[in-house]
Structure formats: structure tokens, C-alpha cells
Amino acid sequence: MQDLPALLLFSGGQDSTTCLYWAKKHFQRVEAVFFHYAQRHGVEYRSARHLAEMNKVPLHELHVPAFREIGGTAMIGTQAIERRENGVPNTFVPGRNIVFFSLAASLAYRRGIRDLVAGVNDADYSGYPDCRKDFVASMQESLNRGLDFPLRIHAPLQSLDKAGIWKLSDTLGVMDIVAEHSHTCYAGDHHTRHPWGYGCGSCPACLLRKKGYESYITEKE
């Protein structure tokens, strides 16, 4: 464990919840930041807040209303979720991770924290371009240059698929906690319980979470 604090970009989803427990294992102190950007469902915030309280992790909250004003994404609007011609689904919020990393870096700067933790990964099934390793590396370099402050971005899930993320949570001893308390479902269903957690069971996020869980359970057996 490093005798240092870390700031987690926290959405309350499976990936960032797994990162929460990874960060708690690797850093002396963990703080988290949640971004309100008019996302479709308040359940994300409730999950993040509950998990932060469970772990006695301070949760900073920042509001980013500009994404609602820009519009055009199913992650904020009510339109049906679908994949565009370029292969990227309409849940992609252009520039979101650029803004989130920038704001998290600003908060970390003010709090004297040099380590950011985020649940991005190259195998992000949604095909988001701002989750790739080269993006994270370039973002770290830009933040270091722009702030003149040596920040490190840790992405412990960078090379993992969903089965691998379930495996990591199991290795950390928190697989059941991740299943019970994190939220991924695009439909905002946190009432219907499955072995892999709560969700509608049919949206792309649920299907991917389910597939990863079942793949990992099969691997264990």
C-alpha cells in the first residue's frame, strides 16, 4: 500500500466500484468524485453515495450541466439506445471523460492529491474512444503540462474485459458487494435482482454485465 491519497472518478457502476476497492487496497486514503451531468437515472448517484458511505470515503460532487445543453445522447435524453453507423452507441457523451478528468485533476490539485483512479479500459464493450489506453496516457501528459503538477492516472481495468473485471472484484473479496450495490442498467432498474446484480436484463449494459459474470463463473468452475 502506498502511503498516499488517491482520488477516484466514481459513477457507482461495476467498473468504478471495483476500482474503489482496488484503490482502498493500494492507497492509504481514498476520496471520490461524482459528476452530475443530467444522466438518465438518479440511481447512479444513489449507488455511488451508498458505496461511499459504506466505505467511509468522502464523496465530492461536481455538476456539469453543459452536456444537457449540448444534448444528442441517449445517456442524457430519453431516446432509444442504438448503435450508430460508426459503431459507437448513442450513449456516448462526446468529451465526457476529457471534462471529467480535467475537473478531477483540478479537484486533486486543490486537495494536494497526485493520484487519480478511473475505471476506463481498452475492452470497453460500448466502444467509447475516450476509454482507450492511448487516450488516458495523453490525458495524463496534458494535465501534467497544463497544471505543472505531477498527476498519475491509474486505470487498473485497462486491459480487462468484463469477465476479468468480475475476477478482479472476486480477488479483492468484494464480488458480492459489487453485484449487490453497484448499478449499470441503462433503464435504471435497481429492483430486479439477478445473480450478477440489479437491472432490466435486456439493455446493452445489462447484457454485457451478465455475459461477463457468466463467463467468469464458468471459468471458475
Structural contact between residues 184 and 135, judged by C-beta atoms closer than 8 angstroms? no
Average of pLDDT values for 151-169? 96
Residue type, 9: L
Nearest residue to 27 via CA among 45, 55, 5, 54: 5
Q: What is the CATH number of domain 2-174?
A: 3.40.50.620
Going by DSSP bridges, is the β-strand pair 115-117/2-9 parallel, antiparallel, or unpaired? parallel
Sign of CA dihedral 179, 181, 185, 187: positive
**Threshold 0.95, pTM exceeds:** no
Segment holding 211, helix H or strand E: helix 204-220
Whether residue 90 is predicted with pLDDT greater than 60 in this model: the reply is: no
The string of pLDDT tens digits covering residues 22-74 is 999 999 999 999 999 877 678 999 999 999 999 999 999 999 887 676 655 65
Whole-number CA gyration radius for the chain: 17
The string of pLDDT tens digits covering residues 127-149 is 677 778 999 999 999 999 999 99
